């Protein structure tokens, strides 16, 4: 799943290729992915793209007063094509969701793997018309995101667990399941620690980890083509998705807590004083 560092890199990648080009045609293959109907997709035809920006994990192609906004969700991806086939896209059951063709026949496809349909596409005159964009919390990459911002966010979250608070787009924008694991590992904090209970030192460490993990991931992704971002994200992670592997910091074995539809990974020695966290999926069944 692309998170902020990948979406930021995609925004750069698309900016370089799309800004100044006109949209020749937008073709929809997965009708359920389009969440708005007015203005229609065809309103974008002929408009020149003036910017590609990111809001949290949303990408926003701005074209002369209209915005094509999309969220890749868990299984979505963007594939850049230097030359798109001329044949029109046929709606169907495959992974293809949307094709954006530019005036030089280059463009990109949005695809979604698997059977869950979570990829979301919007055409709006103002990105703030999209509720999930309007309610985004502060962006950790913004220069305004200082220690006090994080302090306020965590204090407001009270007893809620750090892992969930970091992932909640309304409290902090752009962090998902993978980078929240990485940030908590770097900060040596338990994913289940109540957000409002951090000491001054823990708060400062967490702040540094948020900034460093995200800017580090963006630096690694810089200049990579869209197709290479996924592999880079995976290889750059130290704890997420690495259950059973050795923690590079302390040599302990990375552990996992699984939930109904997701899992988190952590290092017991680095993060929980050597304690194994209870598996939430099992304990819920036992209740
Ligand atoms: Zn460790």
Quickly list DSSP for 52-101. EEEETTEEEEEETTEEEEEE-TTTEEEEEESS--SSPP---SSSEEEEEE
Greater pLDDT, 97 or 87: 97
- What is the DSSP secondary structure assignment for residue 44, as one 8-state letter? G
Ligand 1 center–CA 269 separation, angstroms: 5
Residue 159 has pLDDT above 80, yes or no: yes
CA–CA gap between residue 255 and residue 119 (Å, rounded): 30
Cα of 38 from ligand 1 centre, angstroms: 51
Q: Specify whether the backbone of 20 is left (phi greater than 0), alpha (psi in -120 to 50) or beta.
A: left
Query: Which of residues 281 and 158 earns the better pLDDT score?
Result: 158
The Å distance, Cα 281 to ligand 1 centre, comes to 24
**50-82 pLDDT, tens digit each:** 999 999 999 999 999 999 999 998 889 999 999
State the average pLDDT over residues 105-129. 94
Nearest to 81 by CA among 58, 111, 53, 52: 111
- CA of 185 from ligand 1 middle (Å) equals 8
Residue 57: the pLDDT is: 94
The secondary element (H helix, E strand) that includes residue 7 is helix 4-18
Residue 188 C-alpha to ligand 1 middle, in angstroms?
Answer: 8
**What is the pLDDT at residue 287?**
44
How deeply is 7 buried, as exposed, middle or buried, from its count of CB atoms within 10 A (0-12, 13-18, 19+)?
Answer: buried
Least confident of 45-49, 98-102, 215-219: 215-219
């Amino acid at each position: 799943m692309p998170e902020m560092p990948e979406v930021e890199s995609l925004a750069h990648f698309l900016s370089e290729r799309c800004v100044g080009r006109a949209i020749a045609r937008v073709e929809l293959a997965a009708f359920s992915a389009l969440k708005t109907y007015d203005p229609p997709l065809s309103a974008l035809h002929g408009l020149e793209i003036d910017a590609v920006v990111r809001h949290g994990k949303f990408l926003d192609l701005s074209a002369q007063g209209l915005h094509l906004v999309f969220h890749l969700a868990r299984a979505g991806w963007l594939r850049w094509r230097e030359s798109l086939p001329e044949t029109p896209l046929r709606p169907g059951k495959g992974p293809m969701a949307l094709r954006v063709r530019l005036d030089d026949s280059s463009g990109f496809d949005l695809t979604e793997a698997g059977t869950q349909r979570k990829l979301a596409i919007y055409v709006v005159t103002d990105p703030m018309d999209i509720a999930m964009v309007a309610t985004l919390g502060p962006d950790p990459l913004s220069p305004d995101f200082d220690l006090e911002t994080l302090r306020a966010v965590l204090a407001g979250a009270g007893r809620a667990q750090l892992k969930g608070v970091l992932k909640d787009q309304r409290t902090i924008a752009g962090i998902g399941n993978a980078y929240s694991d990485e940030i908590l590992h770097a900060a040596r904090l338990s994913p289940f620690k109540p957000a409002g209970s951090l000491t001054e030192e823990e708060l400062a460490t967490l702040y540094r980890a948020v900034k460093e993990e995200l800017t580090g991931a963006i630096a690694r992704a810089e200049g990579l083509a869209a197709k290479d971002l996924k592999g880079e994200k995976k290889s750059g992670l130290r704890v997420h998705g690495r259950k059973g592997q050795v923690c590079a910091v302390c040599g302990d074995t990375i552990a996992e807590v699984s939930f109904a539809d997701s899992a988190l990974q952590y290092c017991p020695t680095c993060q929980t004083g050597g304690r194994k966290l209870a598996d939430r999926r099992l304990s819920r069944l036992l209740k």
